Structure 1
């Protein structure tokens, strides 16, 4: 008798028992098939129909996410033979991802250059739904195999999205660069996984036996393997030194795709990092290698490199690309606390950052549509022509900077509070350096974020014959996001009490 046959019943029982905790992902899989079939049946003219189906389906997925809040209140659930972990944090990360994904699905057709694609956008909606499925897996992955598969699923979808405008040479170049960097980081990560599997004897990182086996290995070897895996996760987070792809890809990709890349994969990667680190924190205490120091150094360098590079940019998307590296470094401050307060601060910060960043890119699309403005100089004098959009842009820039009374300010206060609470217990010089760097780079960020309202309101346009073009959708979304950023800044408990 084959040695696996007696275990088939147990495995099938585990799979069917796990499906009850996997309902949102089942719906996403079905939604992917429905959108793809809709595209096949109706062809190039199915963009609006695919968009409607995708948005309606994602609302159903959001409802299923909310239902999972109740089943994770008192317990977390390992599913599919410990491949995935459904925890309260995972559910909230999924809710944030799906909410932002719904906004992005609406936003895709508002970009004039992307909407003019001769193939239509039906394929893009199909790819995005598949990517969201991968993001859900990233949020829950706690096995080295599921981690790798989830990251690759999101990466492949992202490559297709970046190069979607294949007739545009700049977009194609950005897609090629993204693929090359992604393939390299994937190979490095896979090598790290193979080493860790060889050292620990298991792909399951939550098993105590895995950590016990790793303690028997030379500490330098085991942490070299962990470092290689962090390269793959860091590629999605875009912290230094795996950030080189960000400026060119963000600038070359269609603006809605840039909004996607700068928010959803980054949120999922932070969730993955939070799941990946705990076993190896214990390993570090036993071997003398401190992952907190490693992440602190990455956070400090990312904040400095991202913010100072952003000061020198004139293209709006490129400036936001470098600033996103700085925000990643700041968010790493919350990760290195390794406690519940830090996790709550991280979730809140990522939500308000993602909202503000999407709002900024929506308005970048708006001004590109109405005035063909790609660089900051093109914004000169537009504040009086388009006052509502300009005021919203200013509010969003204030939130991204972290000034009162915006949600960005509140998010930074929560992160600083979490780090300072740990600093009072440990008096770690690295935590002090993180807080000092975070404060310094917040001031530096004001110098490049303020350029946009400065050009909108205080500088005169060289060309005064700008024709007013109506584009209500982008402005309405920008108003909603601006209002939400102020509301969450004044009343953060609307969100924080649930985290």
Structure 2
């Protein structure tokens, strides 16, 4: 019998699913080129869902439903809340761009975006291998369709095909790894898998082999080396509004899925998977920053930036357990710093792509770094917003990106391990190299002559949200304690259960 707790655990998901269907039906009668009724309904849905998740998170109660297949806890609720807010901002930034390129002909963009968010919610709230995979497939299938939304644009269709082929391969890796762990432990329940491994009655080699495939699947969703091949091509080829969607909220879902599988389920194998994360982090920082130096396309540059930024997240995730010993304070410090990093990175990405979308106009994409020449002379506000984003990504104080990097480095150094301290030094050196290609864009905006005299204009809702988005980067950089405490409390509550 299904109890009230089971329904309570998935109320936001039910709202999302029902409203996605309602919006698809309502849109059939909408004739507006900009799909205003559909757009407003979508934003209202996202606001309601974000408020619901914030209420769940503030309550702080952890409960399980549907035969322990779904979990609702503070960490998951905050990640879902932030994902809903990120999707809302994406819709605000992306609608004018999509309307100019005839991408709103049938309103699929709004419906598919809600379905992709539903997939993220399922991934974050999963407590069972089957539910994890169900959420992942719902997210990826909607994402494939969104990337190919400009059906008459060959570059978008090509990006969608690459994304589909590589995504299918990554899903296969993850499914194969999960099936091996199921075969070894006899359970699909993440909590029972943890207990079985902790009992020590299972062949270690089989579990490690399965863990390798699971980490490979997670590496693809995070976009880290050596599973990064899709990131630059999809970022560049997809319509910019869809690039923003793929590069923001799904990172929160990927982090949530990583926490569920590696920490909630496979923590006794931390010594094994942390080594894999360390190699992936080092390679991501190295290749992401060195390849970023060579880029002239800003979307491709930000793709390699994403790869290096996710390397920092992996550094946080791999510094929690020392020599197989689980120290509560070290684990909480490491994972909360990684969560803080992901949240602030998504916030920064939203504002950066918001400016790129602003500069694009009908028939002109504004994807080359040279397109930003003299932006300060054309629009000091938007040049300032982009500069704040780039400073934050480079880790320059007082931007929030500086504190995010500092918290991860502090988690590494506080472990006292020589290898971790060496990794921290390496990460700092890589950040210095990466700062070059961020500051190069700032130089182009402020010191190069403009190539066009076209004024930059935007609707009121876009200007308002973009200004608030940029202000948040500065305010959170000056006063990071509130968000850091929120992440730490969420991780503590998640680990306690």
Provide the TM-score with structure 1 as the length reference: 0.90
Q: Tell me the CA shift for residue 144 of structure 1.
A: 1.0
Name whichever of 370-379 and 54-63 sits farther off: 370-379
CA contact (8 A) 1:38 1:46 kept: no
Count matched residues.
Answer: 475
For 2:82, the equivalent position in structure 1 comes to 96
How far apart, CA to CA, are the structure 1 residues paired with 2:339 and 2:264?
A: 21
- In structure 2, relative to structure 1, the CA distance for the partners of 1:114 and 1:231 (3 Å cut) is farther
User: 1:312-335 CA distances to partner (integer Å, 9 max, x unpaired)?
Assistant: 100000000010000001011221
User: Which residue among 212, 218, 227 is the counterpart of 2:212?
Assistant: 227
Unmatched 5+ stretches in structure 2? 321-330, 488-497
- Whole-angstrom CA distance in 2 between matches of 1:303 and 1:66: 33
CA RMSD of aligned residues (A): 2.1
Q: 1:66 aligns to what?
A: 54
Return closer, same or farther for 1:249/1:76 CA change in 2, 3 Å cut-off.
same
Q: Answer whether contact 2:194 2:266 (CA < 8 A) is retained.
A: no
Q: Secondary structure at the match of 1:85?
A: strand
Per-residue deviation, 1:476:
3.7
**Worse-matched range after superposition: 271-280 or 486-495:** 271-280
Q: Hey, what's the Cα distance between the residues in 2 that align with 1:475 and 1:406?
A: 21
For residues 143 and 103 of structure 2, what CA distance do their matches in structure 1 show? 20
The equivalent residue for 1:359 is 351
Matched position secondary structure for 2:347: helix
Q: Would the aligned equivalents of 2:191 and 2:264 in 1 still touch at CA under 8 Å?
A: yes
Indicate whether 1:299 and 2:292 are aligned.
no
What are the within-5 Å matches in structure 2 for residues 39-188 of structure 1? 39-42=27-30, 45=33, 47-71=35-59, 73=60, 75-111=61-97, 115-117=100-102, 120=105, 122-188=107-173
Which residue does 1:319 correspond to in 2? Answer: 301
Tell me the residue number matched to 1:394: 387
TM-score (norm 2): 0.90
Q: 1:350 to 1:279 in 2, by over 3 A?
A: closer
The answer to whether the 8 Å contact 1:284/1:291 transfers is yes
Distance 1:381 1:354 in 2: 27
Rate the CA distance shift 1:408–1:118 in 2: closer, same or farther, 3 A: closer
| Cα distance in structure 1, aligned partners of 2:199 and 2:184 | 6
Structure 1 unaligned regions, length at least 5: 1-11
Equivalent of 2:255 in 270, 274, 288: 270
1:416 to 409, 417, 423: 409
8 Å Cα contact 1:304-1:437 kept in structure 2: no
Name the SS of the counterpart of 1:55 in structure 2. Answer: helix
- SS of 2:367's partner is coil
Q: What is aligned with 1:444?
A: 433
SS in 2 for 1:290: helix
Residue 24 of structure 1 pairs with residue 12 of structure 2: yes
Bigger Rg over Cα: 1
Which of residues 378, 398, 404 is equivalent to 2:397? Answer: 404
